[in-house]
Amino acid sequence: MILTTKQMNLARGCLALGLSAWLAPSLAKAEEGPWRWSNPRPHGNSIRALARGGDFAIEVGDNGSIHTSQNLVQWFPRESGVGGTLRAATFFKEQAVVAGAGGTLLYSEGEEQFTPGELDNPTGEAFRALAASGNTIVAGGSNGTLYTSTDGRQWRRQTFRYNNHIHALTWTGKQFVAVGEGGLVGTSTNGRSWTKRQSRTNRDLNALAYVNKRLWAVGDDGVVLLSYNDGVSWLAANSGTDKDLNAVTGTASEVIIAGENVVRKGVLGFFMYWVDLLETDDGTNPSPPPDWTYYCAIEVDGKFLLGGRTGMLVDSVRDEEDDSYLYWFSADDSVRNWLWDINRVGSLMVTVGDHATVLTSRDGVAWNLEVTPEAAAQSILLGVGGTTNLLVAVGNHGRLLTSHNSWTNVVTKNDLGQAETNKVNTLGVVWEAVEPKPTENDLQGVAALGGTWVVTGGKGTVLTTRDGKQWDTHQAPTTGILTSVEAFKGRFVATGEDGIILTSHDGIDWTKRDSGTANWLYRVRAFDDQLVAVGQAGTLLTSTDGETWAKRESGTDQWLNDVTQVGGAWYVVGVNGTVLTSPDLASWEAKGTITGLSLYGALANDGQFLSVGLEGIILRKEIVPRTTPILIRWERVAAADGGVTNNFSFRGFPGQRFSLDRSPNLKTWEPGPDLELLDGSGVLEYSNTTRAEREFYRAKLR
């Protein structure tokens, strides 16, 4: 089976044999889709471990994240069935084995399904390390937890005799080696009986690699240890850094170490020396890796792959003329600046954040980074809003950016290399800085009503405009910051520090309303007949007129940052990955997500729930599945052995899920594999093999 998401030319001819697209009945009641990452791509969970097997590679990390790949380029999410951090992965007897928090040990013979292993004595301790010989696999973790298995499925607990956390394990070909907390080093020939060795350090050792008959260990404060005798004795190798190191790998001629904003290369020879790979040098290091925090590294065919925080995956290639030069590049161009707000005007969605980041999208899946004025480059954009005529983005120190609805000519080249002129709408694309700034106070709230745009911010600052060019300054009856403003039933409603709620018909004269709380009301959002305000310590208020407010029990003391309504249900997001849902604004339920990072903005988009937050997070979830039929192209290719290869091309809306069912007669149907249009293009390629002379296929929406 082959599963990729590359672009295809759907204009090619197709073989119309047994081709059908089918809608599942009662689709309105279908189960909502899983959480998916729109940014960073392919995901934003920290990568804690990487491993490569004969048929596929695997990466695991935070929030039960598992992704697999056949080419180390395209990575696909897999269900782990757990929500804790997964910290180790390896291959053993042609199966992938994964270990993590809460005594988690999983195995999989293929890419798609991971199954819990059976422990003879279950544990709640966190597994942190795996290593495999030809006939035994060892799992180690917190407080000296140690298990062994001969098949990767049935696990037996072993006595380690030491209470140190085991951080890393490896097999040298002769024995297992474990390192960990407080400079722990242990060796074993069978994974059951262990001998403690002197490491000559009391620093935590975090990673191990056996490279060219040499054993390398790295740890906190830049510790690097080297052993020539399978971990029995150790030498210190001065790494040239005092930063914590989390990963080590290498080849016969070099070793790569990485950690907290550090990547260094040790050049091996008669004399060993280190090169700082984060320093840009056109002569010796023209293309450095991103300055980031890395947790794992592997060597693949003489090149290196680094995994790190929020899904950062960095690959390397060698210079064609001098293989000592490494060129590093990240797997994607995802923005990882913090995002503070998200809004929409018409079909255009906009999110803003640190370093004057502005991203736009029409579908919530593919996001474009827009160019903002150089004068705003260091600004933190905290809010965005407006109408289809004028968008306004605001931020710290009084930063104001505007984007008008107009048209401009853009010259591009077509497939034949000929110049073409196209008209492009500038709304959300072309941004201008308002100079001079009307205020130096931080600005965050943006709303528009009846041809008036209102901006709110620090020290009770209120700005109004009719055209985005001339701004008037007003003082609201508060000295605190007004972090949010909305238009609702012919008036503006603003909220902020100390439970403040203000209303105004014109944005100039404001009236205080009783909120019943002193907690910070971070955000207020307007819906058809309802205002909802959320904020500090799980505060949640509702109102039908902006004057009288009712307190709702959210069931959490986490800071809540935004609220939206999707498919008849209410959703609230907050810090530490908090997501709450309610059918009626009265009873609230905590809903799991795929990140533990804070979420600051929420938005509904045609049945889709979007949320943005720290590290450039843009999450999406199909609450109401789309019923648009999946388009299918199908080609059958005969093989020399009499078999047939079916090559399918699917197109639909990104996020749609379906099963590819098969029938020999259009009467009885065999459920097929579950597929999903993950790519922003909404395109998927899939193939299978068969010996059937005649068959029919349908795409059944889930």
Residue in the structure block whose two tokens are 């199908």:
634
Whether 405 and 426 have beta carbons less than 8 Å apart is answered as yes
**Given pLDDT bands bounded at 50, 70 and 90, which one contains residue 414?**
confident
- pLDDT over 70 (residue 1): no
Please give the Cα distance from 641 to 423 (Å, whole number).
Answer: 54
**Given pLDDT bands bounded at 50, 70 and 90, which one contains residue 31?**
low
- pLDDT over 60 (residue 641): yes
> Using one digit for the tens of pLDDT, what is the confidence trace for 129-174?
999 999 999 999 999 999 999 999 999 999 998 999 999 999 999 9
* Residue 639: exposure state from Cβ atoms within 10 A (0-12, 13-18, ≥19): exposed
Average pLDDT, integer, range 572-585 = 97
Q: What is the pLDDT of residue 320?
A: 76
**The dihedral sign for the CA sequence 236, 249, 177, 218:** positive
Provide the residue type at 127 as one letter. Answer: F
Q: What is the pLDDT of residue 416?
A: 72
> Using one digit for the tens of pLDDT, what is the confidence trace for 273-311?
999 999 877 767 788 999 999 999 999 998 999 999 999
Share of the chain above pLDDT 70, in %: 95
Q: What is the pLDDT of residue 19?
A: 44
Average pLDDT, integer, range 91-108 = 97
Q: What is the mean pLDDT of the chain?
A: 92
- pLDDT over 70 (residue 8): no
Please give the Cα distance from 176 to 215 (Å, whole number).
Answer: 11
The answer to whether the pTM exceeds 0.85 is yes
Q: What is the pLDDT of residue 415?
A: 67
Whether 261 and 289 have beta carbons less than 8 Å apart is answered as no
Lowest mean pLDDT among 497-506, 639-648, 657-666: 639-648
Q: 529: alpha, beta or left, given left = phi > 0 and alpha = psi -120 to 50?
A: alpha
- pLDDT over 90 (residue 32): no
For the sheet with 36-39, list strands across it.
Answer: 36-39, 618-622, 608-613, 599-605
Please give the Cα distance from 702 to 212 (Å, whole number).
Answer: 50
